């Protein structure tokens, strides 16, 4: 069965068509600037040339129409007609406390996703628009929602509660939810599989280090803690997000810089992280690595602070699980950044970790980067959220 995986943002839409038997991506692409001048679709069939077309897209329904046209195009398409698309899997950012697993989309499910809009005002409405657009154009094709928060719903109360008046949890459901759940789930399961061990017997820490970054603790196959919170702003220092800060800094800065809460939040989300910390050198770790090796002091400070924070979370989650068997690095930096991995592992001597420098410098598929006598195994595993969404979709529609 071919599964169309859709990841819809407010003005963009990423898609992949995945064959569920071979688990190969047979075409992928991106619609950008939806509803804005200069809308553009990029489409790449597997093994074919990348095509870029600037073409008007008034809304997400227009965008999905163009995606379906590209997939069924006589020359460069990969399917004959829409009947060859068996189901659609939608990435949905926030499932609140309502969704602890993926679900087949019904009218009731759409209403429940809408009820979570308050918790992710930038993302959930866009996800719903994408679902509605697909329903309009493919009314009989089954659809599944796969939530970024679902994997973390197994966290115990002591991990998800904040030290705030309890009434705010009761009234507004303010608590830790966590994100990147599809990736944390995929990578932790893959680690167990690669090592030939039983997922339910392991204590695994996953460090998803991309432009957004989060750590999770997975004990006996269940997430017991994660670093992102009510929103993706908490936890690690990210590309442009601050991660953990003293909440009093918000008031302090608002007074000193004469800024509104919205302006401060914009700084914390878009102008902080490694970008802000490096005095605007870059939010891209490739530039920061180059700067680090060249002795640029902004890059050195940023790399050290970023890696220290990751190591601190690994320590916290080792305590939370009373030990750790496997540490996995994933996402853009985690998969491709040997420097970050080795700088983090330098803090982890107490776990008996012995890094294999040669393995750490490799790129590509899943790799163990510790020596055979290392007391804890460290690996890098490329994440594949689209494949994870396709697998969930097939599981629920079959």
E strands along 117-160, which residues? 143-147
Q: Which is nearer to ligand AMP, 84 or 290 (CB)?
A: 290
Residue nearest to ligand AMP (CB): 332
Whole-angstrom Cα Rg for the chain: 21
Task: State how far the Cα of 282 lies from the Cα of 300, in Å rounded to an integer.
Answer: 12
Q: Minimal distance in Å, beta carbon 337 to ligand AMP? A: 4
User: What does the alpha-carbon distance between residue 387 and residue 3 come to, in Å, rounded to a whole number?
Assistant: 9
Q: Which of 285, 292, 329, 380 binds ligand AMP (CB under 6 A)?
A: 285
Gap between the Cα atoms of 181 and 387, Å rounded:
14
243 near ligand AMP, judged by CB under 6 A: no
d(CA 155, CA 163): 16
Per the residue annotation, which of 62, 148, 225, 325 is the catalytic one? Answer: 148
Helix (H, G, I), strand (E, B) or coil at 378: strand
Q: Which of the ranges 87-95, 101-109, 174-182, 283-291 carries the binding residues for ligand AMP, by CB under 6 A?
A: 283-291
Does position 211 interact with ligand AMP (CB under 6 A)? The reply is yes
What are the φ and ψ backbone dihedral angles of 225, each rounded to 5 degrees? -170, 155
286 binds ligand AMP (CB under 6 A): yes
* DSSP string computed for 126-148: HHHHHHHHHHHHSTTS-EEEEES
> In the bound complex, what is the minimum distance in angstroms from residue 282's beta carbon to ligand AMP?
8
Residue 27 and residue 78 in contact, taking contact as beta carbons nearer than 8 Å: yes
Question: What are the Cα distances from residue 196, in Å, to 205, 206, 380, 383?
Answer: 17, 18, 16, 19
Of 235 and 239, which CB lies nearer to ligand AMP in the complex structure? 239
Which residues are bridge partners to 225 per DSSP? 217
Q: Segment contacting ligand AMP (CB under 6 A): 128-136, 221-229, 278-286, 374-382?
A: 278-286
Binding piece for ligand AMP, criterion CB under 6 A, among 67-75, 99-107, 244-252, 284-292: 284-292
Residue 362 near ligand AMP by CB under 6 A? no
Binding test (CB under 6 A) with ligand AMP, winner from 44, 226, 336, 384: 336
Give the separation between CA 111 and CA 184, rounded to whole angstroms: 27
Write out the DSSP string of 179-196. S-HHHHHHHHHHHHHHHT
Binding piece for ligand AMP, criterion CB under 6 A, among 14-22, 45-53, 145-153, 333-341: 333-341
Check if 279 is active-site.
no
Q: Does 313 bind ligand AMP (CB under 6 A)?
A: no
**240 lies in the binding site for ligand AMP (CB under 6 A):** no
Number of helices and strands (H, E) in the chain?
Answer: 15, 14
* Choice between 84 and 366, CB closer to ligand AMP: 366
Indicate whether 95 belongs to the interface with ligand AMP (CB under 6 A).
no
Q: Name the residues that contact ligand AMP, by CB under 6 A.
A: 210-211, 239, 284-286, 289, 331-333, 336-337
Residues with a known catalytic role: 148
């Amino acid at each position: 069965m071919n599964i169309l995986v859709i990841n819809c943002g407010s003005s963009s839409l990423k898609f992949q068509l995945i064959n569920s038997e071979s688990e190969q991506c047979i075409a992928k692409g991106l619609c950008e600037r939806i509803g804005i001048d200069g809308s553009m679709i990029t489409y790449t069939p597997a093994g074919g040339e990348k095509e870029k077309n600037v073409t008007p897209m008034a809304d997400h329904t227009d965008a999905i129409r163009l995606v379906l046209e590209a997939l069924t195009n006589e020359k460069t398409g990969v399917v004959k007609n829409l009947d060859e698309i068996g189901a659609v899997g939608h990435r949905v950012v926030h499932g609140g406390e309502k969704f602890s697993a993926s679900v087949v989309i019904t009218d009731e499910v759409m209403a429940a996703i809408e009820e979570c809009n308050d918790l992710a005002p930038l993302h959930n409405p866009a996800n719903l628009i994408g679902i509605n657009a697909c329903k309009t154009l493919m009314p009989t094709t089954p659809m599944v929602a796969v939530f970024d928060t679902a994997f973390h719903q197994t966290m115990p109360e002591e991990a998800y509660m904040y030290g705030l008046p309890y009434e705010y949890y009761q009234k507004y459901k303010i608590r830790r939810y966590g994100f990147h759940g599809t990736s944390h789930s995929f990578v932790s399961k893959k680690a167990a599989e690669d090592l030939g061990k039983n997922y339910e017997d392991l204590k695994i820490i996953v460090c998803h280090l991309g432009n957004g970054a989060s750590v999770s603790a997975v004990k006996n196959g269940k997430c017991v803690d994660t670093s992102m919170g009510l929103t993706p702003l908490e936890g690690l220092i990210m590309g442009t997000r601050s991660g953990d800060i003293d909440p009093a800094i918000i008031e302090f800065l608002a007074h000193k810089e004469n800024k509104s809460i919205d302006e401060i939040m914009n700084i914390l989300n878009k102008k902080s992280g490694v970008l802000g910390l490096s005095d605007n050198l870059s939010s891209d770790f490739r530039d920061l690595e180059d700067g680090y090796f060249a002795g640029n002091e902004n890059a050195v400070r940023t790399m050290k602070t970023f890696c220290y924070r990751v190591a601190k979370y690994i320590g916290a989650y080792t305590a939370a699980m009373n030990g750790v068997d496997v540490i996995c690095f994933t996402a853009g930096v985690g998969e491709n950044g040997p420097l970050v991995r080795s700088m983090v592992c330098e803090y982890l001597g107490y776990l008996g970790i012995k890094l294999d420098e040669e393995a750490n410098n490799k790129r590509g598929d899943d790799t163990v980067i510790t020596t055979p006598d290392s007391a804890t195994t460290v690996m890098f595993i490329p994440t594949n959220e689209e494949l994870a969404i396709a697998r969930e979709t097939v599981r629920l529609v079959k």
